[in-house]
């Protein structure tokens, strides 16, 4: 039986691919998409989620809008220079016939968790504001999360938005600290495993040729490719969120080590840094940190699944 899945997201180019990957994977049943501030403002992330689902013919999946801002301090900046000002690399997807779910994201998520007879996996691939609010407002529902897979942070590398911090954690460090300290069954998929996992132009061409869905997905990625060439001199793209969703779909894809994690919530240059313990931890609040990845295999998984959407 497919595992019930929720994606909490801020689309975002790689977020869009992560949603499409989940829809292409029979191992999971995408029951809900919740949106959050992050790469672009909330109204845009919500509209983008609706349009990506419609692209794949899945407008039946409800989309509930969540937090507009961080818990305490405003997010310093968005990521339009990476994702385009509208979030999908300048690609205009067709509007969805579906309306936004009238429930706030945390209410929709809490109701799903409380009524699902099976444990629900939550893939949080944006800032963790919604998950932190769920913990505060609906703690009994949060306790029913079967598995929380977070795209964010870095244990042994520096950041990608500052020298210390990864973007999703930096966007709301107080929320991240609350989530990592809550004792939920959490996997942290950070830059340690995402940065070595690069989707190249050959793979993009494969799903682009598969049909209209793959073609639009490839078009969305063009902004990412252009940014990678300019910023890093590379010809491929790191699809951070899709790797986290791969781990949600196929638990054990990534090699993990259980460690304590603390998030720097100061207002200095280390803000948003995830500090991992040097030793393995048996503490109830410890987090499974992804430290090993077969990059070639996970990229092939992504490419083949995206190509299958047009089958």
Does the active-site annotation cover 227? no
139/143 Cα distance (integer angstroms): 6
Quick one: DSSP state of residue 182? T
Is-contact 15 83, C-beta < 8 A? no
For the chain, the farthest-separated pair of C-alpha atoms sits apart, in whole angstroms, at 51
Alpha helices in the chain (DSSP H): 13-23, 42-55, 80-83, 105-115, 129-137, 139-142, 167-171, 173-180, 191-194, 201-208, 212-232, 240-249, 295-308
From the list 150, 228, 217, the residue with the least C-alpha distance to 195 is 228
State both tokens at 140: 């009994």
Instruction: Tell me how far CA of residue 96 lies from CA of 39, 58, 142, in angstroms.
Output: 21, 10, 30
DSSP assignment of 278-301: SS----TT-EEEEEE--HHHHHHH
From the list 226, 234, 199, the residue with the least C-alpha distance to 304 is 199
- Active site residues per annotation: 240
């Amino acid at each position: 039986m497919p595992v019930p899945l929720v994606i909490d997201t801020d689309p975002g180019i790689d977020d869009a691919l992560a949603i499409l990957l989940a829809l292409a994977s029979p191992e999971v049943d995408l029951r809900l998409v919740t949106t959050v501030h992050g790469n672009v403002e909330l109204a845009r992330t919500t509209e983008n989620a609706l349009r990506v689902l419609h692209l794949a013919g899945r407008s039946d999946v409800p989309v509930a809008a969540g937090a507009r801002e961080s818990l305490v301090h405003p997010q310093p900046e968005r990521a339009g220079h990476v994702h385009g000002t509208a979030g999908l690399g300048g690609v205009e997807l067709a509007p969805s016939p579906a309306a936004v779910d009238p429930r706030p994201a945390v209410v929709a998520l809490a109701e799903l968790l409380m009524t699902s007879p099976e444990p629900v996996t939550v893939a949080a691939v944006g800032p963790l504001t919604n998950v932190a609010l769920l913990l505060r407002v609906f703690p009994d529902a949060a306790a029913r999360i079967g598995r929380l897979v977070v795209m964010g942070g870095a244990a042994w590398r520096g950041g990608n938005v500052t020298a210390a911090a990864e973007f999703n954690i930096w966007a709301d460090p107080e929320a991240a600290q609350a989530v990592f300290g809550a004792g939920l069954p959490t996997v942290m998929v950070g830059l340690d495993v995402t940065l070595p996992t690069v989707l190249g132009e050959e793979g993009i061409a494969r799903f682009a040729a598969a049909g209209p869905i793959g073609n639009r997905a490839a078009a969305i990625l063009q902004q990412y490719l252009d940014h990678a060439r300019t910023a890093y001199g590379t010809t491929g793209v790191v699809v951070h969120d899709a790797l986290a969703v791969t781990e949600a779909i196929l638990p054990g894809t990534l090699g993990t080590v259980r460690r304590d994690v603390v998030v720097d919530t100061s207002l200095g240059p280390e803000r948003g840094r995830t500090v991992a313990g040097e030793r393995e931890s048996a503490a109830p609040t410890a987090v499974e940190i992804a430290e090993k990845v077969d990059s070639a295999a996970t990229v092939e998984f992504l490419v083949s699944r995206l190509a299958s959407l047009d089958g």
